[in-house]
Amino acid sequence: MVDLEYLKMSPLQKFWFNFKAFFKGLPSKFSAFFKAIPKKLYKLWLAFAGIFLNIGRAARDGDWKTRTSFAVMGFGLVARKRYLRGILYFLFEVLFVLYMVFFGGKYIAQMGTLGEVAEVAVKDPLTGITVYEYHDNSLLILLYSLLTIFIMIAFVYMWYQNVKSSLISQQFVEARMHLPTDKEEIHSYADENYHKTLLSVPLLGLTVFTILPIFFMIFIAFTNFDGNHYPPANLFGWVGGENFANLFGGGVAGNSSKFAFTFGQVLLWTIVWAFFATFLNYILGMLVAIIINKKGIRFKKLWRTILVITIAVPQFVSLLFMSQIFSDQGLINNLLVKWGVIEDAGRIPFLSTDGTLARTMIILINVWIGIPYSMLICTGILMNIPEDLYESARIDGAGPFKAYMKITLPYMLHVTTPYLITQFIGNLNNFNVIFLLSGNVPISSDMYNAGQTDLLITWLYKLTMTYNEYGLASVIGILTFVIVAVFSLVLYNRSKSVKNEEDFM
């Protein structure tokens, strides 16, 4: 395909072309992916082999100081006057041993069963009354074993670093080269090693409050953690892939097929919602931006400010207020009754029993919330479009509509594709709008604990917060992740091909 031919196509043809190109390209992408696997594995193997090679080398070539570091971390370093590092390694080892002996070890040992005794009867020696005390807590066992595994991995890494740097120090001394002194080492953390200084705190936070919980969630998907197995009064245990089987309708639980049906319904609505919430807002916002930007329109700043005010008001305030005035007994219905538009008995269920109406209302209210954002984004870019493009289009006799289709829209799409993708992905997981607006939408009888307007993420919320179905919810969470990841990959892929093919600037 020659570039010129591509440029001659109408937008629809272009889209079709890109669409086809994406699917045509899929097999080769897949094969490239699988072809890359052996190479990656080989690289990984090399990395691993390198680690063992280094350890082996340290055992073979190391003198007694280096070899002592295998057991007493930091010894080889202290022996070569690198006190700071050596002492820190040693402290780390001591702390790790203490942690494992007094805390981590017993949790790791219980990880296979997640606890055996939930409660034990204890007789109070004074009163003689038997009381029940909680004993094993599956939740804490799982949480702490994961934490311990993380710490063990960190320890192995530190141990390896200790061996490696002991050996290097030894070789440096043997070659009569200059070993960094403690002072130089400290200074390096403001220079060559500055990234370690900067990233240590952010990464620690990320590990404890994001990565650890995600692993926890993934493990929960393989347990029967629910309302009937709720610690500390009850234990939960491993059930293998049962929750996944339930989701796809093959499980033993009575509700299994209903669960599969609900998942399909909710997924469908999630995608429909994300599509409308993204593109409707975008196109309408762009239109508003265009008419405000039009030459000869006065008070541009005023119009913009009016819309910006609505961004400034916290979103949860506007959403909650909207959900209140549109409720069955809400202001809008009251006014309509008073004005005689509807009967008192015939109140309009804007955001309650009628699923289709509620979905439409949610999309509309979201348009109201979202237009100012997209207006703001589009305004800046619109002003960047070179005026002479329009000038020459006018001379060639193009009307405003044609100029829009041929200049404005392609330009905007080209520049804002990354924004649209992040918007779309954000909307797949848009909790706030759905949750705050559709609090009144009842659970629908043919669905498993979900209402007509629930997205995957709000369904998940209901399953955990209201029904304590943690195991099932985790499965949905994992699937949500997979879906979002697939969408991101496909979309970013497409946007890349668009970028290469019609470079504007």
Partner 1 sequence: MEKKKLRSKKGAERATRILIYAVLIVISIIWLIPFLLLIIQSFNGNAGGGYGNSIFPEVWTFDNYVKLFTETDFPKWYGNTLLVSVVVTVFQTAIVLVTSYALSRLRFKMRKPLMNLMLILGMFPGFLSMTAVYFVLKEIHLTANPLGLILVYSASSAMQYYICKGFFDTIPKSLDEAARIDGASRQQILWKVILPLAKPIIIYTVLTAFIAPWGEYMFASLIMRGDTSMYTVAAGMKEIFLSQGNEYKYFTVFCAAAVVVSIPITVLFIWLQRYYVEGITGGSVKG
- Residue nearer to partner 1 on the CB measure, 49 or 485: 485
Q: Is 91 in the site for partner 1 (CB under 8 A)?
A: no
Rounded Cα distance, 452 and 81, in Å = 69
**Which contacts (CB < 8 Å, 24+ apart) does range 416-421 have?**
416/282, 416/377, 416/378, 416/381, 417/495, 417/498, 417/499, 418/495, 419/377, 420/278, 420/279, 420/282, 421/488, 421/491, 421/492, 421/495
Query: Do residues 258 and 448 lie in contact, with contact meaning Cβ atoms separated by under 8 Å?
Result: yes
Question: Least separation, in Å, of the C-beta of 298 and partner 1?
Answer: 9
Closest CA to 173 of 91, 55, 61, 50: 61
User: Under the phi-then-psi rule, with left for phi > 0, alpha for psi from -120 to 50, and beta for the rest, what region is 154?
Assistant: alpha
CA–CA–CA angle 9, 10, 13 (5° rounding): 75
Candidate residues 32, 306, 341, 490; the one interacting with partner 1 per rule CB under 8 A: 306
- Residue nearer to partner 1 on the CB measure, 320 or 398: 320
Rounded Cα distance, 406 and 420, in Å = 20
Number of residues lying near partner 1 (CB under 8 A): 98
Question: Least separation, in Å, of the C-beta of 214 and partner 1?
Answer: 5
Question: Least separation, in Å, of the C-beta of 392 and partner 1?
Answer: 19
Candidate residues 255, 481, 494, 501; the one interacting with partner 1 per rule CB under 8 A: 481
What b/e sequence results for 348-385 when a residue is b if at least 16 CB atoms lie within 10 Å of its CB, and e otherwise? bbbbbeebeebbebbbebbbebbbbbbbebbbebbeeb
- Residue nearer to partner 1 on the CB measure, 95 or 203: 203
Candidate residues 26, 41, 131, 214; the one interacting with partner 1 per rule CB under 8 A: 214
Rounded Cα distance, 171 and 66, in Å = 10
What is the helix (H) or strand (E) element at residue 121, kind and residue range? strand 119-123
Residue 443 three-state SS:
strand
Query: Do residues 403 and 294 lie in contact, with contact meaning Cβ atoms separated by under 8 Å?
Result: no
Q: Is 212 in the site for partner 1 (CB under 8 A)?
A: yes
Query: Do residues 332 and 326 lie in contact, with contact meaning Cβ atoms separated by under 8 Å?
Result: yes
Query: Do residues 247 and 263 lie in contact, with contact meaning Cβ atoms separated by under 8 Å?
Result: yes
213 beta partners = none
- Residue nearer to partner 1 on the CB measure, 25 or 330: 330
Residue carrying the six token digits 């010129």: 4
What is the helix (H) or strand (E) element at residue 122, kind and residue range? strand 119-123
Considering only residues 433 to 462 of the shown chain, the ones binding partner 1 according to CB under 8 A are 435-436, 439, 456-457, 460-461
Rounded Cα distance, 245 and 239, in Å = 11
User: Under the phi-then-psi rule, with left for phi > 0, alpha for psi from -120 to 50, and beta for the rest, what region is 493?
Assistant: alpha
Question: Least separation, in Å, of the C-beta of 116 and partner 1?
Answer: 20
Considering only residues 92 to 151 of the shown chain, the ones binding partner 1 according to CB under 8 A are 139-140, 143
- Residue nearer to partner 1 on the CB measure, 287 or 389: 287
Q: Is 234 in the site for partner 1 (CB under 8 A)?
A: no
Question: Least separation, in Å, of the C-beta of 243 and partner 1?
Answer: 14
What b/e sequence results for 100-120 when a residue is b if at least 16 CB atoms lie within 10 Å of its CB, and e otherwise? beeebeebbebbeebbeebee
- Residue nearer to partner 1 on the CB measure, 87 or 336: 336
Candidate residues 381, 393, 407, 409; the one interacting with partner 1 per rule CB under 8 A: 381
- Residue nearer to partner 1 on the CB measure, 246 or 480: 480
Contacting range for partner 1; rule: CB under 8 A; set: 59-67, 68-76, 92-100, 211-219:
211-219
Contacting range for partner 1; rule: CB under 8 A; set: 59-67, 82-90, 321-329, 443-451:
321-329
Rounded Cα distance, 354 and 337, in Å = 19
Q: Is 313 in the site for partner 1 (CB under 8 A)?
A: yes
Rounded Cα distance, 210 and 346, in Å = 48
Candidate residues 10, 28, 334, 466; the one interacting with partner 1 per rule CB under 8 A: 334
Rounded Cα distance, 479 and 247, in Å = 10
Question: Least separation, in Å, of the C-beta of 134 and partner 1?
Answer: 14
Q: Is 376 in the site for partner 1 (CB under 8 A)?
A: yes
Candidate residues 49, 153, 485, 490; the one interacting with partner 1 per rule CB under 8 A: 485
Considering only residues 252 to 291 of the shown chain, the ones binding partner 1 according to CB under 8 A are 288, 291
- Residue nearer to partner 1 on the CB measure, 46 or 59: 46
Candidate residues 84, 245, 260, 311; the one interacting with partner 1 per rule CB under 8 A: 311
Q: Is 373 in the site for partner 1 (CB under 8 A)?
A: yes
Question: Least separation, in Å, of the C-beta of 347 and partner 1?
Answer: 12
Considering only residues 404 to 433 of the shown chain, the ones binding partner 1 according to CB under 8 A are 414-419, 422, 425, 429, 431-432
Rounded Cα distance, 59 and 68, in Å = 10
Candidate residues 10, 181, 315, 360; the one interacting with partner 1 per rule CB under 8 A: 315
Q: Is 325 in the site for partner 1 (CB under 8 A)?
A: yes
223 beta partners = 238
Q: Is 499 in the site for partner 1 (CB under 8 A)?
A: yes
Considering only residues 147 to 206 of the shown chain, the ones binding partner 1 according to CB under 8 A are 187, 190-192, 194-195, 197-199, 201-203, 205-206
- Residue nearer to partner 1 on the CB measure, 213 or 241: 213
Candidate residues 172, 303, 390, 467; the one interacting with partner 1 per rule CB under 8 A: 303
Candidate residues 331, 392, 402, 442; the one interacting with partner 1 per rule CB under 8 A: 331
Question: Least separation, in Å, of the C-beta of 196 and partner 1?
Answer: 8
Q: Is 56 in the site for partner 1 (CB under 8 A)?
A: no
